[in-house]
Amino acid sequence: MIIVMKPDATREDVDQVLARLESIGSEAHVSVGQTHTVIGVIGDRDRIQQLPWEALSGVERAVPVLKPFKFVSRDFRDKDTVIEVRRARIGGGSFAVVAGPCAVESRDQLFRVAEAVQQAGAHILRGDAFKPRTSPYAFQGLGEKGLELLAEARDEFDMPFVAEVLDPRDVELVSSYADILRVGTRNMANFTLLTEVGKQSRPVQLKRGFTATVEEWLNAAEYIYKEGNHEIIMVERGIRTFETSTRNTLDISAVPVVKGLSHLPVLVDPSHSAGHRHLVAPLSRAAIAVGADGFMVDVHHAPDTALVDGAQALLPSEFAALMDEIRSLAAAMNLQI
């Protein structure tokens, strides 16, 4: 931590800061400049970061030197985390493809799509039984019935599946069916939910809040990790900006940024960031080229009848064509697919 004092800070102000630092056992280095005095602080990170430095008289600002997260950082663990779920593998030079319908609508719909994506080469099935919807009047998902159908599809097509969990009270239920849990973008900062999924023994996909900084996203992962669940898959899905030609702005740079700061694998969700079908293939190609560990796309056999997000779902034939492109790029990038 570096504490920058105001130009008009008094000697007493500086002494008060030093006394607070001493009281928590920290060491301080004072540099007196022409206009500002700067105090470098060394000591226990947590104790230092929790005190309200900027509330002290004479303090202009406190600049943290260390990141607020620990366990998910590369400083804590340098080696890439690799997650294996049945035959699927995420991280460590494998490129994982997650595909399926946005929401489970019926047995017929799910099985058609699951069969198509499995044949085209997807590794993990997606499909949600609980949907968070901006409008209370929109379709909210099939609930447990949806999970049952997903479990049936898993067995039929031999693919693990991932499903979103919205409510801390549903975590056990979803865990009892799904191979991978997902915390969605609207719940990235739902700390009670993060704590609950942190207690499960299932890998967790953690979508970036569409308004979260990379640092906040890694803090959310830290909430899960510290409860004991270390199998966390970060999913970049676009952030909210002023641009309106896409639903959100895919922050492709976040992939190398997170992989630089953390040992966790990172997927990209081009479907939900773009919101338009014709952008899904180019963004999926960008994802593999930028160094992501996989991507997750919506596929629907009849998007114009989809109950959720049909405008962004690929047709099975479009998904198969995308997989061909991805295989060429994976070869050029020396990735397993």
Q: Name which of residues 268 to 287 contact its own copies (CB under 8 A).
A: 273-274, 276-279, 282-283, 285-287
CA angle at residue 64 from 60 to 68, to 5 degrees? Answer: 140
β-strand partners of 124: 98
79 binds its own copies (CB under 8 A): no
Q: Decide: 52 and 91 in contact? Cβ < 8 Å.
A: no
- Minimum CB distance to its own copies, residue 98 (Å): 19
Is position 260 an interface residue for its own copies (rule: CB under 8 A)? yes
* Shorter beta-carbon distance to its own copies: residue 88 or 280: 280
298 binds its own copies (CB under 8 A): no
Which member of 290, 320, 321, 337 binds its own copies (CB under 8 A)?
A: 290
* 254 binds its own copies, rule: CB under 8 A: yes
Q: DSSP assignment of 63-130, as one string?
A: E-SS-S--TTBTTT--SPP-EEETTEEEBTTB-EEEEE-SB---HHHHHHHHHHHHHHT-SEEE-BSS
For its own copies, the binding residues in 303-322 under the rule CB under 8 A are 303-311, 313
Per-residue burial over 311-334, b if 16 or more Cβ lie within 10 Å, else e, is: ebbbbbebbbebbeebeebbeeee
CB atoms under 10 Å from CB of 247, counted, come to 21
Residue span binding its own copies (CB under 8 A) among the ranges 42-50, 103-111, 150-158, 171-179: 42-50
243 is an interface residue for its own copies by CB under 8 A: yes
Between 294 and 303, whose beta carbon lies closer to its own copies? 303
- Between residue 219 and residue 238, which ones bind its own copies under the rule CB under 8 A? 219, 222-223, 226
The length of the chain is 337
Write out the binding residues for its own copies, residues 170-209 only, by CB under 8 A: 186-187, 189-192, 209
Q: Which residue of 18, 151, 257, 337 would you call a contact of its own copies, by CB under 8 A?
A: 257
Exactly one of 7, 25, 143, 228 binds its own copies (CB under 8 A); that residue is 7
| Nearest to its own copies of 23, 119 (CB atom) | 23
CA 208 to CA 183: how far, in whole Å? 9
Of the pair 180, 281, the CB lying nearest its own copies is at 281
Please, which residue, 47 or 145, has the CB nearer to its own copies? Answer: 47
Q: How far is the CB of 68 from its own copies (least distance, A)?
A: 5
d(CA 71, CA 196): 18
Count of Cβ atoms closer than 10 Å to residue 125 Cβ: 28
Contact call for residue 155 and its own copies (CB under 8 A): no
Residue selected from 12, 22, 65, 172 as contacting its own copies according to rule CB under 8 A: 65
CB of 172 to its own copies, least distance (A): 13
Distance of alpha carbon 321 from alpha carbon 286, whole angstroms? 16
* For helices 191-198 and 214-225, angle between their N-to-C axes, nearest 10 degrees: 40
- Within residues 122-151, the interface with its own copies by CB under 8 A covers 132-139
Segment near its own copies (CB under 8 A), from 47-55, 109-117, 121-129, 154-162? 47-55
Rounded Cα gap, residues 334 and 167, in angstroms: 40
336 binding its own copies? (CB under 8 A): no
Q: Measured between alpha carbons, how far is 311 from 278 in angstroms, rounded to an integer?
A: 9
How many chain residues touch its own copies (CB under 8 A)? 105
